[in-house]
Amino acid sequence: MNYASPGSGIRSFLREILLPAFAGCFRSRRDNGFLVRIVLAGLALRLISIDQPMRADEASTFTVYAHGSLAQALTYLSPNNHILHTLLVKATTFALGGAPAVIRLPALVFGCLNIVLVFCACRRLGSTGLAAALVLATSPYLILFSTNARGYTLLVCLVLVLIIVGDLLVRKPSPGATTFFALISALGMLTIPTMAFALAGIFLWMVWCTFSSAQVNARAVRLALVWCGVKCIALTLLMYAPTLWLSGLQALLRNEFVQSQDFRAFIGGLRWHVEGTAVQFARDTPPVTLAFLFIACAGGVLRGLRMADSRVVSLCVCLLAGAAALLLANHRIPYERTWIYLIPIVAILADAGLSLMGSWPNLIGRRILIAAFLVSLMLPALPVARGSVFTYDDTGLYQDGPVVGALLAKNMSEGDFLSVPCCQNYSVFYYLWRFGAPAYTYGPRADHGRAYYVIPDGVPPSEVIGEDPLAKPWQKAGSTTIFMLDTNAR
């Protein structure tokens, strides 16, 4: 297909290329049956913790951005606002109310959709996809963020779509393909600007495919990639236009979370960042599962080295190289969850390695090995089923938030003062709103009314109360002690 051929618009791309490509991933009834079971199992594991106490980051996003006006949702006061995800939360809660499960519904939907998308990505890249789907269904880290109202599962979803679309674009370049790729890229950037790490790797991968495959029209693909980059930039700027108008460019590019570090400090922290990311991603994953995944990934690399056009291995290498290049250019160590999109990439590589296991000549031994591998992938589900996600401290865990909020909402009067440590405050704010608390004052203590001081376990009372000796313990809420001072009783 010529890049500028008639009928090559976005509608033609969707109808003639993308939808048939997705349909081709589901031709096996047997595999479809297994995939449905895996998705249902993944959904069940996520529903266990969908109603866990609201964490600080998601409570902050809802309270500051999603629960307010549209202008507030589009305002970028901090990277905590994953704008596209915030808009989805706003729409969902407007229709269904503000319960924790409803606020987390978009993250849950995308978390389950990712199981299907990784299956499709594997099919496009030449493997079965069931093992990869099982990895995503049972990964404790992905389950955590499927039940945490943040934009990370949406980010993973868009990255997987880009991998599939990127493969199609390289094989059949067209203006429709580049426009759709740019649209998904811009949506990813609108979700979390760190999408740029994944985009750099995917672009690099498409360039690699252009030069490594004899079946590719290199000239047409190079032209398509140029247009793709131009459209990505244009659509991203267009989508960010309201935010730039409301918040300014400095809020996006010069906030404390993205400003470059001292280069020596950056290099010194890289090792700990890599180790910390690996530990978080492998949390509650048994050693036997990690061992099988390592063997399967090694098999995927070996399988790729035997092929003239190894798209799986080149995808892994390019994603790492693209991310590393941007990371070094900015030399700012991000949060470990920035790299969450690499978990499906490991799953894709392991799935490719499973194909190598399937070529083992001993039929009985082959079946035992594959069965043991698949069973090992189910083991991370055991701690999740026992509620391990409730104990993860990512993004501000505060398990006493519901009981503290209910107790305060029942006893506070309008104008009362409230003081909560910064790591727990937005969780308490959310539950105060949820339980219908009257208007209260948060900040320096007023000279009238009652003052409530929330002291979570492990926080020194002086950190919250200050030097006022008249505040006395009032109530216990879980492991939290609430102090109270009635200024009218002085």
For CA atoms 394, 395, 401, 402, give the dihedral sign.
negative
Helix (H, G, I), strand (E, B) or coil at 421: coil
How far apart CA 28 and CA 195 sit, in angstroms, is 33
Contact present, 153 and 189 (Cβ < 8 Å): no
| pTM metric for this prediction | 0.93
The span from the CA of 294 to the CA of 282, in Å, is: 12
List Cα–Cα distances, 100 to 89, 125, 158, 198, 289, in angstroms.
Answer: 11, 37, 24, 30, 32
User: Between β-strands 450-455 and 480-486, what pairing exists: parallel, antiparallel or unpaired?
Assistant: antiparallel
Number of Cβ atoms within 10 Å of the Cβ of 383: 16
Phi, psi angle pair for 387, to nearest 5°: 90, 25
**From CA 334, how far away is CA 5, in angstroms rounded?**
43
Predicted confidence at residue 319, as pLDDT, reads 97
The partner residues of 451 in beta bridges, in order of sequence, read 417, 485
How many Å apart are CA 320 and CA 457, to the nearest integer? 41
CA distance 118 to 142: 13
pLDDT value for 1: 43
Amino acid identity for residue 60 in this structure: S
In the prediction, which pLDDT does 6 show? 43
The predicted structure's pLDDT at residue 376 = 86
Q: Which two tokens stand for residue 420?
A: 């909560």
One DSSP character per residue, 121-144 reads HHHHHTS--HHHHHHHHH-HHHHH
CA–CA distance from 13 to each of 6, 8, 124, 230, 282 (Å)?
11, 6, 16, 19, 38
- Residue 162 makes CB contacts below 8 A (sequence gap 6+) with 181, 184, 185, 188, 198, 199, 202
C-beta atoms surrounding 402 within 10 Å: 22
**Spans of all domains in the chain:** 10-390, 401-489
- Residues 16, 85: contact at Cβ < 8 Å? no
Contact 91, 103 (CB under 8 A): no
162/183 Cα distance (integer angstroms) = 10
Q: 425: how many CB neighbours lie within 10 A of its CB?
A: 20
**pLDDT on residue 462:** 82
Rg (CA), the chain: 25
Question: In sequence order, what E strands does 295-448 have?
Answer: 417-419, 441-442
The predicted structure's pLDDT at residue 481: 94
- The Cα 11–Cα 252 span in angstroms is 33
Residue pLDDT tens, the chain, 490 long:
455 554 568 899 999 999 999 999 999 999 999 999 999 999 999 999 999 999 999 999 999 999 989 999 999 988 889 999 999 999 999 999 999 999 999 999 999 999 999 999 999 998 889 999 999 999 999 999 999 999 999 999 999 999 999 999 998 899 999 999 999 999 999 999 999 999 999 999 999 988 776 566 778 888 899 999 999 999 999 999 999 999 888 878 777 777 888 889 999 999 999 999 999 999 999 999 999 899 899 989 988 887 766 889 999 999 999 999 999 998 899 999 999 999 999 999 999 988 766 655 555 655 777 778 788 888 899 999 999 999 999 999 999 999 999 999 999 988 899 999 988 999 999 999 999 999 998 876 766 778 899 999 988 888 888 766 678 889 999 999 999 888 765 5
